[in-house]
Amino acid sequence: NAGVTQTPKFQVLKTGQSMTLQCAQDMNHEYMSWYRQDPGMGLRLIHYSVGAGITDQGEVPNGYNVSRSTTEDFPLRLLSAAPSQTSVYFCASSPGYGYTFGSGTRLTVV
């Protein structure tokens, strides 16, 4: 039982490049979310999903896309990276009560 797995752990992108942050969970949780953590800002919700095929926007969705084709996977896509997207990204899942977080992806956009 691996819990919530995020890949990669570290990534450096150039401005304008695209990439996908991967998130997978093996606990059969319906709810999955993406957060970004910035110094002094705490964790802010980017997008979330309440089940396969259902996604919605959080507090800071601009510049990010998500999809949920399976219960297990919830990838986060950056279509055209900007320096403002330099952050630590966390994926989380929940059965409807209590969240489990992945270990994070540290992204730097130069």
Q: Is 48 in the site for other proteins (CB under 8 A)?
A: yes
For residue 68, the minimal CB distance to other proteins (Å) is 13
Give the count of residues interacting with other proteins (CB under 8 A). Answer: 23
Q: Contacting other proteins (CB under 8 A), which of 12, 41, 79, 82? A: 41
Neighbour count for residue 73 (Cβ, 10 Å): 14
For residue 78, the minimal CB distance to other proteins (Å) is 20
Q: Is 92 in the site for other proteins (CB under 8 A)?
A: yes
